[in-house]
Amino acid sequence: MSSTTFPPPTARARTWRKPSVLPGFALTFGTTIGWLSLIVLIPIATIFLKAAGMGWRHFLEVGFSDRALAAYRLSFGTAAAAGLVNAVFGLLVAWVLVRYAFPGKKVVSALVDLPFALPTAVAGIALTALYSPNGWIGQFLDPLGIKVAFTPLGITIALVFIGLPFVVRSVEPVLADLGKDVEEAAATLGASRSQTFARVIFPAIGPALLTGFAMAFARGVGEYGSVIFISGNMPGKTEIAPLLIVTQLEQYAYEGATAIAVVMMLVSFGILLAINALQAAGRRRMGA
C-alpha cells in the first residue's frame, strides 16, 4: 500500500476491470468471492449435485409424490392467499403512513417492521395462543364454526404476519416519491379523486406492489418457524413443504428431502428472476 509505483498504464488498460486510484480491489474482491463461494455457492451447488445423482425417475417419484404435491399446494396456496391479503392491506398501511398525519405515526411505522425483528418461533407460539380454540381470538371464532388453528386458515394468518413488511416497505418509497404534482396535474385536467387513483397513482406504484407481493410470497413459501406451531402438521392436510423436508430428514430420507428442497428452490429462484426482470422493466419505463 505504500509502494509508489504500479504497472505501466498500458498494461493496466488491458485488465478486465477499469483501473481505479482507490486501493484494495484484490483484497476486497477476493474476500467477497471466496467467502461467497464457501458459504453460499458451494453449499447450494451441493444440493443440486445430490439431486442430479438421484436419477430423473427417482427424483420425480419422491419430489412429486402425493404427499409432496399436497404440501406444495398448501405452501404455494397459503403463501399466495397471504400475499394477496398483504397486497391490499400493505398498500393501505403504506398509503396511510405516507399520506396522512396522525398521532403515533412513528410508532406505527416502527411496528410495521416487527415481523422482520421478531424471531419466527416467537411469532408462531404467539399466534397459536391467540387463535387456538380457547385462545384470545379463537374463543370467539370457535362458536361461529370458524377454525383457525391447525387449518390452512391459520397458516395463512401466520404468513400474513410474516409478509406484511415486504409489501409496505416496497410500496412506501415509491408512493413518497410520487410527487403530489402529478396528482395535482390530474386534478387540474379534470380527473376525479378515484380516477386519479386508478389511472395515475395505481399504475405508478403497480410494479412496487407486485414486487412486494412476490417477495412476501417467496418468503411465505419457505417459511417454517411461525407456521409449524399453528398448522397442526397433518400429512396431506396441513403439512407445509418445509415441514415435509424436516420430516424426511428426521426419517433419514435424504433423497426425499433433497428432491423437495430442489423443487422449492427452483420455484424461489424463478420468482427472484421474475422480480429482477420486473424491476428492470419498471426502471426502463420510468427512465431512471
Partner 1 sequence: MIKVQNITKRFGDFAALHGIDLEIEDGEFVALLGPSGSGKTTLLRIIAGLEFQDGGEVYFGGEDVSRLKVADRHVGFVFQQYALFRHMTVAENVAFGLSVKKRRDRPSKAEIRARADELLRLVQLEGLGARYPGQLSGGQRQRVALARALAIEPKLLLLDEPFGALDAKVRKDLRRWLRDLHKQMGLTSIFVTHDQEEALELADRVVVMDHGKIEQVGTPEEIYMNPRTAFVSHFVGETNRVAGEGGEVHFRPHDVDVVEEGGETVLVDNVFRKGGAWRVEGALVETGLLVEFDMDAALAPPATGTEVRIAPRRSRLFNPA
Partner 2 sequence: MKLRATTEGRLTQALLIALALAFLAFFLLLPLVAVFSEALKAGIGAFVAAIATPDAWAAIKLTLLIAAISVPLNVVFGIAASWAITKFSFPGKSLLITLIDLPFSVSPVVSGLIFVLLFGANGLFGHWLAEHDLKIIFAVPGIVLATVFITFPFVARELIPLMMEQGKDDEEAALSLGASGWQTFWHVTLPNIRWGLLYGVLLCNARAMGEFGAVSVVSGHIRGETNTMPLHVEILYNEYDFVGAFAVASLLAGLALVTLVAKSVLEWRFDLHSGAKH
Show contacts with partner 1 in window 3-22 (CB under 8 A).
4-6, 8-10, 12-13, 18-19, 21
**Residue span 20-59 as binding mask against partner 1, x where in contact by CB under 8 A, dash where not:** -x--------------------------------------
| Residue 199 beta carbon to partner 2: minimum distance, rounded to whole angstroms | 14
Amino acid letter, residue 265: M
Distance of closest approach, residue 27 Cβ to partner 1, in angstroms: 17
Site residues for partner 1, window 76-135 (CB under 8 A)? none
Cell matching residue 130: 391467540
Among partner 1, partner 2, none, the one that 234 touches (CB under a kind-dependent 5 to 8 A) is: none
Evaluate whether 205 touches 174 at the Cβ level (below 8 Å). yes
134 exposed, middle or buried (CB, 10 Å; 0-12, 13-18, 19+)?
Answer: exposed
Binds 13: which of partner 2, partner 1, none (CB < 5-8 Å by kind): partner 1
| CA dihedral over 62, 67, 70, 71, signed as positive or negative | negative
Contact flag: residue 229 with partner 2 (CB under 8 A) = yes
Residue 161 within binding range of partner 2, rule CB under 8 A = yes
d(CA 188, CA 200): 13
Is residue 130 part of the contact set for partner 2 (CB under 8 A)?
Answer: yes
Which of partner 2, partner 1, none lies near 146, with the C-beta cut-off 5 to 8 A by kind?
A: none
Residues 62-121 that bind partner 2 (CB under 8 A): 89, 92-93, 95-97, 99-100, 102, 106, 108-121
Scanning the structure block, which residue is given the C-alpha cell 404467539? Answer: 126
For residues 70 and 261, which CB has a smaller minimum distance to partner 2 in the complex?
261
Query: Rounded to the nearest whole angstrom, what is the least distance from the CB of residue 173 to partner 1 in the complex?
Result: 23
Within 13 A of 166's CA, how many CA atoms are on the CB side? 23
Q: Among 237, 240, 236, which residue's Cα sits nearest to residue 79? A: 240
Q: How far is the CB of 24 from partner 1 (least distance, A)?
A: 13
Dist CA 128 CA 154 (whole Å): 8
Kind plus residue range of the DSSP H or E element containing 26 = helix 25-36
Q: Find which of partner 1, partner 2, none residue 276 binds, CB within 5 to 8 Å per kind.
A: partner 2
5 binding partner (options partner 1, partner 2, none; Cβ < 5 to 8 Å by kind): partner 1
Q: 145: number of CA atoms within 13 Å, CB side?
A: 0
Kind and range of the H or E run holding 29: helix 25-36
Specify the residue, 23 or 173, whose C-beta has the smaller distance to partner 1: 23
Cα–Cα distance between 130 and 128 in angstroms, integer? 5
Nearest alpha carbon to residue 87 among 170, 8, 195: 170
Distance, CA of 117 to CA of 134 (rounded, Å): 28
Candidates 57-65, 139-147, 177-185, 202-210: pick the segment binding partner 2 (CB under 8 A): 177-185
Say how many residues touch partner 1, by CB under 8 A.
Answer: 11
Taking the least distance from each CB to partner 1, the nearer of 9 and 104 is 9
User: Would you count residue 136 as binding partner 2 (CB under 8 A)?
Assistant: yes
Task: Give the C-alpha separation, 82 to 84, whole Å.
Answer: 5
Sites of contact with partner 1 (CB under 8 A): 4-6, 8-10, 12-13, 18-19, 21
